[in-house]
Amino acid sequence: MAMEVKKLCCGIDVSHTKLDVSYQNNLGEFFHLQVGNNINGFKKILEHTGTGYHFVMEATGVYYIRLAFYLHQQDCQLSVVNALSIKRYIQMHLERNKSDKKDAAWICRYAIEQCPPYWEMPDSAYFESKQLYNTIREYTEQIKRFNNQLHSLRLLPVPSKDTIKSLEKMTAHLQKEIKLLELKLESMLEQWQPAQLKSVGSVKGIGKRATAMLIVFTQGFKNTYSHRQLISFAGLSPTEYSSGSSIQGKSRIYKGGGKNLRDVLYMCSMNAIKTNTACKALYERLRGNGKTGKQALIAVCNKLLKQVFAVVKNNTLYQPNYCSTKP
């Protein structure tokens, strides 16, 4: 005899054009549904489930956002889970086959067993700031590509003057656009997170772009509860791989966070060893102990993130001579 299920869950595998949905009824029976990733598809899901379910989906780029907004507007309980958590959960159960239908079923099982925390609607300023920052970053990458192309063209025996002129014109235009967008981003952050903008920006070695990136990609440090969590988010956590006497792997950083944030922080670390007293002392000590320049700079990145978390948590400006009173 089937047992009545107290908590109804619905797992949704999200892709660009379609949604694979796995949900259970009161008797614990599972059903599958495939709909389009659009408003009509969202409505069809609720026609089958109603609003009383706990909906769970992966954070898949931008593809999940419209669905999450729609379910939130319908007062549904929903969770948005890191895709790596779902992947590890599936691996733990030794599943070898993969399809969108199976993934939806596994997400539903994950929701039932793990009860992930409910998703909170981010501020509209977060979405606007993120779009501004991503556009600035993309324009910066385009300028790098144009400059590389210009360098190559000027080495040719017969360079095309028209091509060079066009690339120089595009580069100048993008530089102008970047300056305008940076002003708009700074204005947005001053309205959304004025205290954090001052606190993070006061840390020696952290520039304006790094300040904006840290605030935007942590959603204003909304769910950041420790400096270790912040370091892990940036993909700078040290990891060890050893077992007994037979496996003695080298310590490495776990690059599970955002590469762009890690790259920006690495550049900040090179500035910090010149301007930040604590970072300079750390770098020199590690180099003196035989660490490579890269290893020492990664440690400086972690030090910077500890300082950033401290000033944000205490809502204060960076104090170079501050000494902790904790034992």
Does one domain contain both 24 and 61? yes
- Within a domain: residue 130? yes
Reading the block at residue 28, the tokens are 């614990």
Closest by CA position to 176, among listed 143, 216, 211, 130:
143
Residue 2 in domain: no
pLDDT less than 50: residues of the chain: 1-3, 241-243, 247-249, 327
Mapped onto helix, strand or coil, the DSSP state of residue 82 is coil
- In a shared domain, residues 179 and 207: no
Same domain flag for 204 and 306: yes
Residue 324 domain-assigned (yes or no): yes
Identify the CATH number of the domain in which residue 33 sits: 3.30.420.10
If you count DSSP H runs as helices and E runs as strands, how many of each does the chain have, helices first? 12, 9
267 and 291 in a single domain? The answer is yes
225 & 314 share domain = yes
Task: Give dist(CA 227, CA 310) in Å, integer.
Answer: 8
Instruction: Classify residue 3: in a domain, yes or no.
Output: no
Domain shared by 209 and 315, yes or no: yes
Do residues 309 and 208 both lie within one domain?
yes
pLDDT digits (tens, 9 = 90+) for 4-32: 556 799 999 999 999 999 999 888 889 99
Spell out the SS3 assignment of 310-321: HHHHHCCCCCCC
Domain count, the chain: 3
Question: Tokens standing for 193?
Answer: 């997170």
Last residue of a domain, one of 66, 83, 114: 114
Question: What is the pTM (predicted TM-score) of this model?
Answer: 0.80
Domain presence at residue 90 = yes
Phi, psi at residue 60, to the nearest 5°? -110, 85
3-state secondary structure at position 236: coil
Supply the range of the domain harboring residue 37. 9-114
Domain check: are 144 and 185 in the same one? yes
Within a domain: 76: yes
> Which of 65, 80, 114 is where one domain is finished?
114
Boundary (domain end) residue, out of 64, 96, 114: 114
Supply the CATH number for residue 133's domain.
Answer: 1.20.120
| 24 shares its domain with 99 | yes
Q: Are residues 110 and 73 in the same domain?
A: yes
Sign of CA dihedral 19, 38, 54, 127: positive
Q: Provide the token pair at 35.
A: 């709909």
- Are 264 and 281 members of one domain? yes
Q: Does residue 306 share a domain with residue 227?
A: yes
